[in-house]
């Protein structure tokens, strides 16, 4: 990520921007572990002068997301008869572990 300020930027604006940097992993199955966030500020005038590098460690832990049950549309069943839908629902309900 690169943030560019113009000549009207104040120290307070830069500090606020740096303090509000966040990390979000959008993968459905992220690899657990650490990520290193490096922040370095330069004045952009071409002289290659910059601040010290600020390193922050971000710990990524995947979460167990609940399953989503998608029910087919327009299901019908005859009274007092077993149906595939009924059997499926009963199987799902008996196999669910509530935490």
Q: Work out whether strand 54-60 and strand 33-39 pair parallel, antiparallel, or are unpaired.
A: antiparallel
Cβ proximity of 39 and 56 under 8 Å: yes
Q: Could you report the per-residue pLDDT of 10-63, keeping only the tens digit for each?
A: 889 888 988 888 888 788 788 889 989 888 887 777 677 788 888 888 888 887
What's the predicted TM-score (pTM) here? Answer: 0.46
pLDDT digits (tens, 9 = 90+) for 58-97: 888 887 777 777 776 776 667 766 666 667 777 777 766 6
């Amino acid at each position: 990520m690169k943030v560019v300020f113009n000549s009207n930027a104040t120290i307070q604006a830069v500090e606020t921007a740096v303090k509000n940097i966040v990390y979000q992993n959008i993968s459905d199955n992220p690899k657990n572990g650490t990520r290193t966030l490096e922040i370095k500020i330069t004045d952009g005038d071409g002289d290659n002068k910059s601040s010290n590098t600020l390193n922050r460690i971000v710990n990524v832990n995947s979460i167990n997301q609940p399953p989503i049950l998608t029910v087919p549309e327009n299901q019908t069943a005859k009274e007092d008869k077993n149906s595939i839908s009924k059997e499926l629902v009963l199987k799902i309900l008996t196999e669910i572990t509530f935490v």
